[in-house]
Copies of this chain bind each other. A is one copy, B any other.
Amino acid sequence: MRSTDDRSTVARIRDAAITEFAANGVDGTSIRTIATAAGVSPGLVIHHFGSKDELRVACDEYVAGIIRDVKGGAMASGGAFDVTAAFRTVGEIPAAKYLARTLVDGSPHVAELVDEIVTDAMKYVATGVETGMIKPTEHEWERAAILTIWGLGSLVLHEHLERLIGVDITSDFSADPKATSAYMAPILEIYSNGFLTETTVQILRAAFVDAATEAEKEST
């Protein structure tokens, strides 16, 4: 069903599309560009995927699959509270950069994937609370959601982060110890001790949460 080559033609087109979409966005990538990158004709892209939109959906699903695999493998390694860590440990297709692009332009598949990630994070955190590795909270779901959004948001803004602290979190920087400490050390600091003193929190809580405390009976 395929030639003696590396990947099948369909796979080559899909991979080229993922790379181009990740680099220049969906709107910024033409079918002709993808076809050239895959070494085929524009017509063949349509023939195999039906339309640019369906190609994009295929990419979404494929990348989502990769991420699910990677995430499953990383769950046990202890890095599950930082989604981006999972990508760095594996040398996958530019799935991380693709996700960083598509997280913003609202595909339903990506939304589904984000929901899954948060759900998994919740489970992971719940286990961590039981084993005494993670502090309990009244807002489990919201905390998991916010931590996930922070991780994914950092992924989306990886270019800014790289410019700011010299670490590209879409690549595997475990080889560079200076980068590891620049990125991981402050995060671990905040994740364990925070950065606001008790006085400050009381002031801020009074300002923001105070009127809401009695309405806090039902969460989601």
User: Which secondary structure characterizes the binding site on chain A?
Assistant: helix
CA distance A215 to B180 in the complex (A): 11
B residues near A205, Cβ cutoff 8 Å = 185, 188
Q: Assess whether B145 is in contact with A195, with CB atoms less than 8 Å apart.
A: no
Query: A134 within 8 Å of B by Cβ?
Result: yes
Query: A3 within 8 Å of B by Cβ?
Result: no
Q: Which residue of B lies closest to A137 (CB)?
A: B189
Tally of contact residues, A, Cβ under 8 A: 81
Distance between A68 CB and nearest chain B CB, rounded to angstroms = 17
Distance between A215 CB and nearest chain B CB, rounded to angstroms = 5
Distance between A146 CB and nearest chain B CB, rounded to angstroms = 5
Distance between A126 CB and nearest chain B CB, rounded to angstroms = 12
Query: A91 within 8 Å of B by Cβ?
Result: no
Q: List 28 A-B contacts (CB under 8 A).
A: A78-B207, A81-B196, A101-B104, A104-B104, A132-B197, A133-B196, A134-B195, A134-B197, A135-B194, A135-B195, A139-B185, A139-B186, A146-B165, A146-B186, A147-B190, A147-B195, A149-B154, A149-B164, A152-B157, A178-B215, A184-B209, A185-B205, A185-B209, A188-B196, A188-B209, A191-B194, A192-B200, A193-B193
